Structure 1
Amino acid sequence: MKLYIYEHCPFCARARMIFGLKHIPVEQHILLSDDSKSPTNMIGEKMVPILQKDDGSYMPESLDIVDYIDSNYGDKPILTGDRSAKIAKLITQINQYDYRLECPRYIKMNLAEFATQSAIDDFTTSKAQKMGSFADCLAQTETLASFVANLLNELEPLIISPDACNGRLSLDDICLFPVLRNLTCVKNLMFPVKIKSYLQSMSEQSKVNLFFDKAI
Structure 2
Amino acid sequence: MNLYLYDHCPFCVRAEMVANYKQVNQQNIYLANDDEESCYKLIGAKVLPILEHQGDAMGESLDIAKRLDELGNPEKIIEEGGHAKDVLEVLNQVNFSINCLLFPRNIRIGLPEFKTQSAQDYFEGKKEKIIDMSFATAMDQTQEHIDKVENALGKLPSLSLPSDRENTLSWDDVLVYPVLRNLTMVANLTFPDSVQAYIDEVSKLTQTHTYFDKAI
TM-score, length-scaled by structure 1 = 0.92
Counterpart Cα distance in 1 of 2:36 and 2:26: 22
Determine what percentage of the aligned residue pairs are the same residue.
38
Instruction: Give the gaps of 5 or more residues in structure 1.
Output: none
1:41-190 matches, within 5 Å, as: 41-53=41-53, 55-75=54-74, 78-84=77-83, 85-131=85-131, 132-155=133-156, 158-161=158-161, 163=163, 169-190=169-190
The 1:121–1:180 alpha-carbon spacing in structure 2 relative to 1, beyond 3 Å, is same
Contact 1:3 1:51 in 2 (8 A): yes
- Cα distance in 2 for partners of 1:212, 1:77 equals 28
Q: Deviations over 1:137-163 (max 9, x none)?
A: 1111111111110111112x5123254
- Structure 2 CA distance, aligned partners of 1:164 and 1:28? 30
Runs of 4+ residues deviating >3 angstroms:
162-165
Q: C-alpha distance in 2, partners of 1:201/1:80?
A: 15
Compute the displacement of 1:66 (Å). Answer: 0.7
| Equivalent-residue separation in structure 2 for 1:210 and 1:151 (angstroms) | 20
User: How many matched pairs?
Assistant: 213
Q: Does the residue aligned with 2:155 lie in a helix, a strand or coil?
A: helix
Name the counterpart of 1:23: 23
81-90 vs 7-16, greater mean Cα deviation: 81-90
Letter in 1 for 2:27: E
Is this contact kept in 2: 1:164–1:198, CA < 8 A?
no
User: In the TM superposition, what whole-angstrom CA distance separates every residue of 1:181-207 from its partner, at most 9, and x where no partner exists?
Assistant: 000000010011111111111111111
Gaps of 5+ in 2: none
CA contact (8 A) 2:19 2:72 kept: no
**Amino acid of the residue matched to residue 95 of structure 1?**
N
Measure the CA separation in 2 of the matches of 1:91 and 1:194.
Answer: 16
Shift of 1:93: 2.5
Deviation of the 1:76 alpha carbon:
5.3
Normalising by the residue count of structure 2, what TM-score does the alignment of the two structures yield? 0.92
3-state SS in 1 of match to 2:51: strand
